[in-house]
Amino acid sequence: MRIELERRPRQSSLFAVVSPLLALALTVLFGGIMFALLGKDPVAALYSFFIEPLLEVWSLHELAIKAAPLILIAVGLSVCYRSNNWNIGAEGQFTVGAIVGAIVPITFYEWHSPLLLPLMMIMGAIGGAAYGAIPALLKTRFNTNEILTSLMLVYIAQLFLDWLTRGIWKDPAGYNFPQSRSFVTEGVLPEVLSSGRAHYGIVFAIIAAIAVWFMMRYTLKGFQVNVLGQSERAGRFAGFSGRKMVWFSMMFSGALAGLAGISEVSGSIGHLQPSISPGYGFTAIIVAFLGRLNPLGIIASGFVLALTYLGGEGAQLSIGVSDKVTRVFQGLLLFFVLSCDTLILYKVRIVFDRVRAVSAKAAS
């Protein structure tokens, strides 16, 4: 018995929609099995994981808070991956964006002005873009693999943040805790609705997603991204520069990640500290793939993955499973997404070997 793949003449549009849903269903199924193996009631566990976080208003706000950076980063990553530039260092660009965006409220901590917030956001985006430019430079000038360089830069960025918050940016009135001064009120991203904590980060995320969707679908830039991603040679014949696309995609996704970073720090936390992200930059990779690299799909998948974060926390409280379950769910989800994506390009056939039976029959 073996599995045979037969290439479809055209991408199946049915499976383009069904595949992420199928992946989600399989993940829930395997998750239930995993809960059962851990000795917990699978139905109750799945309920507390996926349904309970949706039942209360404050919980929906928390969902929006978690989904905002995921969507923002993933939208940038979708542009990168579509152009075949593998930016894995979004977590580092997130961190550097937060650091650069926090320069003004921390060094000029007495400055109150309505300009503070926009300045922070812009600087955050610039910081992230600059950090994303490093792997771009290394790829175009030195032919260095961007996966490894962007990843190494993540560790370096996190260590830099650790050094800043324990050292020169430590709050003198903070009882020696490793955190910076708290931002003034003008430097905190305000809430969107009065019913909860959700801040404008989610607004940025949705606007960015719609804007990028428009760019990818209706503008020349989007066309360039797609063509260069599928065949660099074809792009060159059309006059598109692969080199410039490396710069554009890495800096664009870096900027969005940086914006996500400063939004998260400003809206959710209110100061800088050594740990500002539960792995948003890496989870955003899953969000991007689950959303099939389409910004509108990413809005949905961002909320799905935010749900897994909340579900993990909730399940820990109500069922007693470890919160590591979240990472396992996310990894499983990506696995199933990638498996089900095969159905879009290929027809899968399970072939039972009849050759031997036929030849045996012929010989007799």
Give the binding site for other proteins (CB under 8 A).
3-5, 7, 86, 88, 138, 141-145, 147-149, 151-153, 155-156, 159-160, 162-163, 166-167, 282, 285-286, 289, 322, 324-332, 334-335, 338-339, 341-342, 345-346, 348
- Cα–Cα distance measured from residue 271 to residue 275, given in angstroms and rounded to the nearest whole number: 11
Q: Which is nearer to other proteins, 22 or 192 (CB)?
A: 22
Q: List the end-to-end C-alpha distance of the chain, in Å, as a whole number.
A: 24
**Rounded least distance, CB 26 to other proteins, Å:** 13
Q: Which is nearer to other proteins, 74 or 325 (CB)?
A: 325
Q: Which is nearer to other proteins, 171 or 341 (CB)?
A: 341
Q: Which is nearer to other proteins, 251 or 325 (CB)?
A: 325
**Rounded least distance, CB 350 to other proteins, Å:** 11
**Rounded least distance, CB 162 to other proteins, Å:** 5
Q: What burial letters (b/e) apply to 206-235, b meaning 16+ CB within 10 Å? A: bebbeebbebbeeeeebbbbbbbbeebeeb
Q: Which is nearer to other proteins, 106 or 290 (CB)?
A: 290
- Cα–Cα distance measured from residue 97 to residue 123, given in angstroms and rounded to the nearest whole number: 7
Q: Which is nearer to other proteins, 49 or 289 (CB)?
A: 289
Q: Which is nearer to other proteins, 116 or 138 (CB)?
A: 138
**Rounded least distance, CB 348 to other proteins, Å:** 8
Q: Which is nearer to other proteins, 185 or 230 (CB)?
A: 230
Kindly calculate the radius of gyration of the chain based on its CA atoms and give it in whole angstroms.
23
**Rounded least distance, CB 256 to other proteins, Å:** 19
**Rounded least distance, CB 237 to other proteins, Å:** 21
Q: Which is nearer to other proteins, 121 or 325 (CB)?
A: 325
**Rounded least distance, CB 184 to other proteins, Å:** 28
- Cα–Cα distance measured from residue 254 to residue 281, given in angstroms and rounded to the nearest whole number: 11
- Cα–Cα distance measured from residue 160 to residue 102, given in angstroms and rounded to the nearest whole number: 14
- Cα–Cα distance measured from residue 118 to residue 4, given in angstroms and rounded to the nearest whole number: 55
**Rounded least distance, CB 322 to other proteins, Å:** 5
**Rounded least distance, CB 163 to other proteins, Å:** 4
